Amino acid sequence: MTDDRTVVRRFEPYADHLAFVISDAEATEDIFDEDTWDKADDTWRIAGERHCVVVGTARYDYVPVRLALVDTPPEDASLDAFDHVVEADILVPSGKMAVTGATELPSEVEPVPLPAGRYRVRVAYAQTDRRPARFDLEGVGDHLEYQVTMWPTDADLGVYVLKQGPSPWAS
């Protein structure tokens, strides 16, 4: 990525266990496991390890995810359009990132190539009328689009909530 370019991809992972995972496609340690959620604050709606960010979802179903890879941090903009916005860090040393369901392996999806390094990940939860190609008509939970923006960074800033959504956050 160069020249402040934005690369946008869309995914529809199956959010089994009410989550999907953004991870280094080749990492074998510091990735999502049974302890990841235990180390996170429930109000964050995300959990992280060094090589992954796990995004909690409002539905146990296929969910729409919009991923934007940018060169620089996004400009501060109004967060009014979103229910919840949170940031975390991820290391992607392989230069290959995967977006998967919680029990899906990164090797089961086509990786997203990007320059190897550390990234800041912003996850914005937005109400949407958009439905994935496959979804459960009778499924329970709000229909949200998960807008993920990632940019390279040198700093490890940890988890930071920019806008706290209501609790309970999904119905």
Residues 107, 50: Cα–Cα separation, whole Å: 19
Query: Whole-angstrom Cα distance, residue 76 to residue 139?
Result: 35
DSSP annotation of 71 reads: S
* pLDDT tens, residue order, the chain (171 aa): 445 668 899 999 999 989 999 999 998 876 766 677 777 777 889 998 899 999 999 999 999 999 999 999 888 778 889 999 999 999 999 999 999 998 898 999 999 999 999 999 999 999 888 887 887 778 777 889 999 999 999 999 999 999 998 876 655
Nearest 5°: the CA angle 147, 153, 154 is: 155
Token output for 73: 């941090």
Taking domain 6-163, whether its CATH number is 2.102.10.10 is answered by no
